Amino acid sequence: MPKLEIEQFLCLSDNYGVLIHDPEAEVTAAIDAPDAKTILAQLEAKGWTLTHLFVTHHHGDHTGGNLALKEATGCTIYGPAAEAERIPGIDVEVTDGDVIRFGDFDVKVIETPGHTIGHIAYWIPDAKVAFVGDTLFALGAGRVFEGTAEVMWRSLQKLMRLPPDTEIYCGHEYTQANARFALTLEPDNLALVNRAKEVDLLRDQGKPTLPTRLDRELETNPFLRPNVTAIRAKLGMLYAPDWHVFAAIRERKNKS
Ligand SMILES: [Fe+2]
């Protein structure tokens, strides 16, 4: 099995930059481009040359570095076809089910609309890793800016069906605030209580709480748990469809 090296680092205030590197094939990709300077410094520190840029969605804190990175490295920029006109420097437009060859790895494109209308995630099954942008966060989920709650819920369900041991890399470090909110919905979920403590400890030490893993999210992330009776009872929605409960959780978090 080929090995994939992964570097995660903070960009801007709370964005994560990620570089992935296949040492055999000598290819390197950035997941999103929050800040070209930081990404170029990381590339130099690792001695890697950027060949690919995988963009999840058009927001400026994910694409602001696109043109500078392309200029500096000549990398090929991949991004969602549905947002192509809003993604600076895009070379290759991808849609759901597309497979991008990256060195010895296949990168699978999963459309996850909701946060933005064309948002995509990149899944590398052989490395057991997925890059989900602003769709799913540790203990949270992205705000629904361009889709509806129902569309967003369908997107999250796609991610929930990935293998449970998939490592999940997200666009932002929002976990501590998410944990506080999650506890208001499920104060008796022991896995969540323990995880919230762990998150506090990591943040106290200035450490990242990401990546996370899908099985942990399924156990503790309220946005993936609208079917759980305790959450439904809390919201007074015992018999509503899952996506209605998801929408209510999203609304509540927006106001928190
Ligand atoms: Fe975003």
Active site residue 172: yes
Q: Note the pLDDT of residue 2.
A: 75
Chain-centre distance of CA 37, in angstroms? 21
Report the separation in Å between the CA atom of 78 and the middle of ligand 1, taken as the mean of its atom positions: 17
Active site residue 134: yes
Residue type, 227: N
From the candidates 52, 57, 98, 204, which is the catalytic residue? Answer: 57
From the candidates 21, 52, 58, 62, which is the catalytic residue? Answer: 62
From the candidates 22, 52, 61, 119, which is the catalytic residue? Answer: 61
What pLDDT digit, counting tens, does each position of 112-148 carry? 999 999 999 999 999 999 999 999 999 999 999 999 9
Mean pLDDT score across all residues of the chain: 97
Q: Cα-flanking dihedrals φ and ψ of residue 156, to 5°?
A: -65, -35
Active site residue 59: yes
What pLDDT digit, counting tens, does each position of 2-58 carry? 799 999 999 989 999 999 999 999 999 999 999 999 999 999 999 999 999 999 999
Active site residue 61: yes
Burial pattern 131-166, b for ≥16 Cβ within 10 A else e, equals bbbbbbbbbbbbebebbebbbbbbbbeebeebeeeb
Q: Note the pLDDT of residue 138.
A: 98
Q: Note the pLDDT of residue 220.
A: 98
Of the chain, the percentage scoring pLDDT greater than 70 comes to 100
Report the separation in Å between the CA atom of 131 and the middle of ligand 1, taken as the mean of its atom positions: 13
From the candidates 115, 126, 188, 242, which is the catalytic residue? Answer: 115
| Helix or strand (DSSP H, E) at 191 | helix 190-204
Report the separation in Å between the CA atom of 31 and the middle of ligand 1, taken as the mean of its atom positions: 13
Closest by Cα among 134, 205, 140, 203 to 172: 134
- In the chain the first and final C-alpha atoms are separated, in Å, by 45
**pLDDT at residue 256 is higher than 90:** no
Cut 0.75: pTM above it: yes
Structure tokens at 155: 């997107």
The residue assigned the tokens 């052989």 is 126
Helices (H), 16-148: 36-46, 60-63, 66-73
Judge contact between 224 and 215, C-beta under 8 A: no
Residue 172 is given by DSSP the state B
Active site residue 57: yes
What pLDDT digit, counting tens, does each position of 200-218 carry? 999 999 999 999 999 999 9
Q: Note the pLDDT of residue 177.
A: 97
CB-based contacts of 178-181 (< 8 A; 24+ apart in sequence): 178/137, 178/138, 178/139, 178/140, 178/221, 179/139, 181/139, 181/140, 181/222, 181/252, 181/253, 181/256
Question: In whole angstroms, how far apart are CA 117 and each of 19, 31, 160, 236?
Answer: 25, 19, 19, 30
Closest by Cα among 167, 170, 160, 149 to 57: 170
From the candidates 104, 172, 215, 242, which is the catalytic residue? Answer: 172
From the candidates 106, 134, 188, 242, which is the catalytic residue? Answer: 134
Burial pattern 203-213, b for ≥16 Cβ within 10 A else e, equals eeeeeebbbbb
**pLDDT at residue 1 is higher than 80:** no
Q: Note the pLDDT of residue 153.
A: 98
DSSP-derived pairing of the beta strands 52-54 and 27-31: parallel
Judge contact between 29 and 101, C-beta under 8 A: no
Residues with CB under 5 A from ligand 1 (ion): 59, 134
Active site residue 52: no
Active site residue 115: yes
